[in-house]
């Protein structure tokens, strides 16, 4: 990846390269999953920052999206091997380094916590998870305790993270017909923080 590449071009390159890989035990690629989540957010009338968060929520699974490039780069493969890759935190950190605002980065950071929260607070939610999501839930700490759930509820972006989580859960349809990455290009450019 070029060091002079714009943030949106860097993301587009990730979607086209590593994003073309299978998505962690699901019947879609990573890019297809992300595009479906973005399309669901857009269809639901979400504000631009939340559409971007849905579109980018799993960018931390892509090894090129790692703000700690001097360290070992992790990917979703580690998560499926039983080692939490902290992809929410890693993705949010990288998106922040690319100049996206907290209205985008915080729902990305919290979307795994939102899954754990929903499993703890909505009795029917766990039964809606795919087999791969059930597995990763266990790796990521399982359902929250009551204390963890109360703490999560105090997060300023908790409701947005829950919305992203629900779009994430819907975004695993191998036959979905959704817009490609270029559809979101100007939305992403419009959200970048300028100096």
Number of domains, the chain: 1
Does residue 187 lie in a domain region?
Answer: no
Does residue 16 lie in a domain region?
Answer: yes
Does residue 94 lie in a domain region?
Answer: yes
Does residue 178 lie in a domain region?
Answer: no
Rounded alpha-carbon distances, angstroms, from residue 18 to 13, 52, 77, 115, 161? 8, 19, 12, 24, 24
Does residue 180 lie in a domain region?
Answer: no
Rounded alpha-carbon distances, angstroms, from residue 121 to 54, 99, 190? 22, 34, 35
As a whole number of angstroms, the distance between CA 163 and CA 50 comes to 8
pLDDT of residue 79: 52
**For residue 44, what is the domain's CATH number?**
1.10.3210.10
pLDDT of residue 82: 55
Q: What digits encode the pLDDT tens for the residues 90-104?
A: 899 989 988 999 999
As a whole number of angstroms, the distance between CA 41 and CA 168 comes to 10
* Whether residue 72 has pLDDT greater than 50: no
pTM: 0.90
Q: What digits encode the pLDDT tens for the residues 103-157?
A: 999 999 999 999 999 999 998 999 999 888 998 899 899 999 999 999 999 999 9
pLDDT of residue 64: 58
* Residue appearing with tokens 């509820």: 153
Does residue 30 lie in a domain region?
Answer: yes
Does residue 25 lie in a domain region?
Answer: yes
Q: Where in the sequence is the domain holding 153, given as residue range(s)?
A: 7-172
Does residue 23 lie in a domain region?
Answer: yes
């Amino acid at each position: 990846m070029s060091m002079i590449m714009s943030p949106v071009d860097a993301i587009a390159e990730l979607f086209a390269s590593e994003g073309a890989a299978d998505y962690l035990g699901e019947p879609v690629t990573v890019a297809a999953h992300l595009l479906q989540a973005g399309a669901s957010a857009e269809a639901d009338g979400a504000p631009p920052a939340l559409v971007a968060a849905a579109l980018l929520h799993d960018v931390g699974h892509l090894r090129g999206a790692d703000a700690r490039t001097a360290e070992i780069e992790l990917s979703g493969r580690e998560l499926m091997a039983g080692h939490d890759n902290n992809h929410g935190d890693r993705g949010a950190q990288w998106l922040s380094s690319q100049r996206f605002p907290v209205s985008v980065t915080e729902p990305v950071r919290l979307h795994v916590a939102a899954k754990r929260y929903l499993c703890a607070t909505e009795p029917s939610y766990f039964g809606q998870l795919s087999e791969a999501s059930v597995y990763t839930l266990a790796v990521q700490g399982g359902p929250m305790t009551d204390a963890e759930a109360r703490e999560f509820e105090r997060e300023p972006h908790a409701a947005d993270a829950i919305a992203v989580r629900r779009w994430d859960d819907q975004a695993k349809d191998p036959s979905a017909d959704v817009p490609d990455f270029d559809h979101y290009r100007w939305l992403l450019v419009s959200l970048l923080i300028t100096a």
